A = this chain, B = another copy of it.
């Protein structure tokens, strides 16, 4: 059946995503992936051509929905620049929580040198997202809503990096925060609201001009 075939491919991709993110591209063997997925090893090559093809398939399955979502936000006429940044922070936190395996896999691969075509693809696509966010920041600066000397590139690095650090070094950050950061429930109930509130407060105090700041009414983050 066509349906079964799609389900099976999808199931392989689910397992591959998890194994790749746990062990890295080199550390994950095709045998362990196929074994954990309960399919014959040859099926990976049959479906995806190669190990790298499988990796790219995992990647491509995720990225398509991102850019559209972000563009819609950027083009919304009813929102102030800060509201857009705020919404972006929310969106990004949601994405990270729900796709933390993928995010880990992604940046693990990006940190390797010399895996030519693959790295270039990842870079190119992520760069599109970066540019969309920069548009929002630039809009805020041009409108006089944000400070003129805002360092747009490093603000971006801060948003991406803070989240990345927490997800990619879970052993350390779990110890820091006092709960298991990889546990679904903690991620949803504790981490998600906390990182949202924190990043908004942090960036608002940096981005928004003094006279534009309303009184801060942030919810106390969950300890």
Q: Chain A: residues with CB nearer than 8 A to chain B?
A: 22-27, 104, 107-108, 110-114, 119-120, 122-123, 126-127, 130, 149, 151, 153-154, 156-158, 160-166, 168-169, 171-173, 175-177, 194-195, 198-199, 201-202, 205-206, 220-221
Contact = CB atoms under 8 A, between A and B. Distances in A.
A151 B221 contact: yes
B123 A172 contact: yes
Contact of A112 (B22, B153, B206, B221): B22
Given A176-B127, A176-B153, A113 B23 contact: yes
Contacts of A107: 111, 168-169
Contacts of A206: 201-202, 205-206
Given A162-B162, A164-B164, A113 B22 contact: yes
Contacts of A127: 172, 175-176
A22 to B, nearest CB: 4
Contacts of A177: 153
- What are the nearest 5 A-B pairs in CB distance? A161-B165, A26-B26, A161-B161, A111-B168, A26-B27
Contacts of A24: 24, 26-27, 108, 112
B169 A162 contact: no
Interface centre among A107, A122, A221 (most CB of B within 10 A): A107
A66 B171 CA distance: 20
A172 B111 CA distance: 10
Given A26-B24, A108-B108, A220-B149, A156 B169 contact: no
Given A122-B172, A151-B194, A161-B166, 19 more contacts: A22-B112, A24-B108, A24-B112, A27-B112, A108-B108, A119-B171, A126-B172, A130-B172, A130-B176, A151-B198, A154-B162, A154-B195, A156-B176, A157-B162, A157-B165, A158-B161, A158-B162, A158-B202, A161-B163
